[in-house]
Amino acid sequence: MRRRLPWMVVTLLAGGALAAGPPIFGGEQSERSSIPFQTVLELEHTARLLAVLLDSGRAVINDNQILLDESQGRGLTPEAFERQLLDMFRGRAGIDLHELDHTALAPRTKRLLRALVETSRQVIADVHRELSPPAKGFTGFIPAAFGARVSARFTEQTGVRLKQTALAPRNPANRPDAYEQGALEAFADAAYPRETVISEMAANSASFRLMFPLYATRHCLDCHGEPKGVVDRLGYPREGLVLGQNAGAISVMLPVKP
Ligand code: HEC
């Protein structure tokens, strides 16, 4: 039998309140991890901030979608993107990344947040370069494309895995593993509390995992909304999501040892 979920930490994003609770799904709580609780809290905080930062980048792309489409992907400069990213993150996480040195965050957390901002900016700079002169058959630089490129590069550089996933993914590379599947099923339940992440220390205590739920905004519905099955402008069948419904998650896998 698999032994998972020795620790389960559920966090309310809204209030930032943190409580160690019983497992939400599956697993046993047989063996307590030898990892100090303080370390678990720090890992949880780091993973959550990375998910919020990646999602903030996705949201900035979303906000600029019309501009990006009309300029064939070249209308958003890396500098403008970074400015909007830091504004978005400050609004959502209450942390000013310009002032990172003056925060009480752990050194590793600071390093990873800086690396993720840098990776995000580089991806925008690459897109600029690739699309000058305008690419033939430009189909759109969308939040998911941004997220996938940033995640791949960030994982390569830091060993921290970021992934966008959903129960019925459009891209087979985003298919959930068993842990992600369980969390996505919990998020999909209408009774599940909104904005509540699911996290665990992996059974071998080598990595900490966190699932950060995403919700459908009006923008997302252009592609993922109704009518279900009718293809969107990129040629994918729509999922039939409605406003506010869970639309998947960002999955974070953070090695316990830096
Ligand atoms: C312009 C159309 C479009 C919009 C707008 C859009 N998406 Fe997507 N989404 C896609 C496509 C296409 C993919 C698959 C990308 C790939 O091949 O990796 C995708 C992938 C995803 C994935 C990863 C799982 C999968 O299906 O592969 C998630 C999660 C997701 N979108 C959520 C959202 C959310 C939340 C929003 C709104 C904030 C949104 N999307 C807006 C088209 C869109």
CA distance 107 to 102: 11
Compute the distance from residue 8 Cα to the ligand 1 centre, in Å.
29
pLDDT in tens, the chain (258 residues): 333 333 344 443 333 333 334 334 433 343 445 788 888 999 999 999 999 999 999 999 988 888 887 777 677 899 999 999 999 999 999 999 999 999 999 999 999 999 999 999 999 999 888 776 665 555 678 899 999 999 999 999 999 999 999 999 999 999 999 999 999 999 999 999 999 999 999 888 899 999 999 999 988 999 999 999 999 988 999 999 999 999 999 999 999 988
Indicate the residue type of 213.
Answer: P
Cα 124 to Cα 61, 146, 190: the distances in Å are 10, 8, 36
Atom of ligand 1 nearest to the CA of 249: 29
Residue 207 tokens, joined: 């990595």
Which of 4, 59, 54, 117 lies closest to 250 in space, CA to CA?
Answer: 54
Compute the distance from residue 204 Cα to the ligand 1 centre, in Å.
32
Contacts (Cβ under 8 Å, ≥6 apart) of 61:
68, 76, 141, 142, 143, 146
Long-range contacts at 176-180 (CB < 8 A, ≥ 24 apart): 176/251, 179/4, 179/209, 179/211, 180/211, 180/249, 180/251
C-beta 164 within 6 A of ligand 1: yes
CA distance 52 to 101: 19
